[in-house]
Structure 1
């Protein structure tokens, strides 16, 4: 009996020691709590233009699907549909919508081609936005990551060349000394102009 009590005591001491060491190491980790005067955003690129969007609008960020099924008779910015864990996800090219023209689909679905084309495809991501429980995938050139944006860094200046995204831009915030527009992706995908994918 004494041996069992000692074993339990040793086990409890070991757990307390392990807990103390974990807490000491965790003290050096970055603090992920949001500053009170900031809001969380996702920073991404469409071609060379950086954009911010509120983090709560993004359900997930995916790699570019290998298999995208084209839908005949649709607008150029609707690349098609892909299977995302058993759910059909419409995939839209945000760059083609903003700037017009045809998206470079061939470079996305074929492995052949230049190294630059493969490198570009490797950086592309799909931002999954949910609107009324319906998922929508928006292809961006690069998803850079999450940022905390200070509310006091809002500026009146809106960059030029926003194309078709301008109606969905509320404001700009300084990021690394340059104004970056905030695009409301939920508002964009709810717009009948964007949703009118059929030609």
Structure 2
């Protein structure tokens, strides 16, 4: 597996090796021992998957507050998407900064998002499927979000003919309106 760090502490792009032949490919997309040695020690408790039928679907920016804060390992298993993580760790030198990665079924790349980040994505093709492991179960009472188009964050989303999103995601607060949910510890994890 190849590992790439970003300028925002804690985020990592993981590219599993694919073994190709005339049948297609084989890839080990997650190995706990390698992950713990190279990325983070984490116990995933749930795998999530969503299908977005239309290109231009935006989901996010989501996170959960303590004690149900989630770290995520995200990948695209069908189609393409722009995956985004925003640093929301109070005291972080990159607070409010964002990183994006194009994840696709073709490139097989994954994005590691530790606790202390808001996560969202925009689909770039119809019938895109995202799959991700999380370190804590979903809890509706701790479900939080930030507005996807907060001008203070300034995410450069792709131009699309269609924009599809839930009413809930349209009404998330701005980053400046959030309480301090996470504190930067300098380690990339909260």
Question: Larger Cα Rg: Structure 1 or Structure 2?
Answer: 1
TM-score (norm. length: structure 1)? 0.25
Point out the structure with the larger helix share: 1
Of structures 1 and 2, the one scoring higher in RCO (CA 8 A, sep 6+) is: 2
